[in-house]
């Protein structure tokens, strides 16, 4: 079974299980500690958005904040 097969199966999982799988895959990559910390923080932020704990910006809000 190759990566494409695994990906096809993984995409059939519920969102919560896909997030957990993504976290485990990223964490399995050996990275220097500062990079690992950044990856962990990025995953936490993605989960916050995906689970609704935080509300993301609309494109309009984002563009206004960038001015």
Give the model confidence (pLDDT) of 29-49 as tens digits.
766 667 778 888 888 998 999
The confidence score (pLDDT) of residue 8 equals 95
Domain ranges across the chain: 3-65
Statement: the pTM of the whole predicted model exceeds 0.85: no
> For 49-67, what is the mean pLDDT?
90
First-to-last CA distance in the chain?
48
Beta-carbon contacts of residue 56 (< 8 Å; ≥ 6 apart): 49
């Amino acid at each position: 079974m190759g990566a494409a097969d695994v990906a096809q199966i993984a995409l059939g999982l519920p969102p919560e299980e896909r997030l957990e799988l993504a976290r485990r895959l990223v964490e399995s990559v050996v990275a220097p500690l500062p990079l690992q910390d950044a990856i962990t923080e990025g995953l936490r932020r993605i989960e916050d958005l995906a689970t609704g704990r935080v509300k993301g910006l609309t494109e309009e809000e984002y563009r206004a904040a960038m001015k």
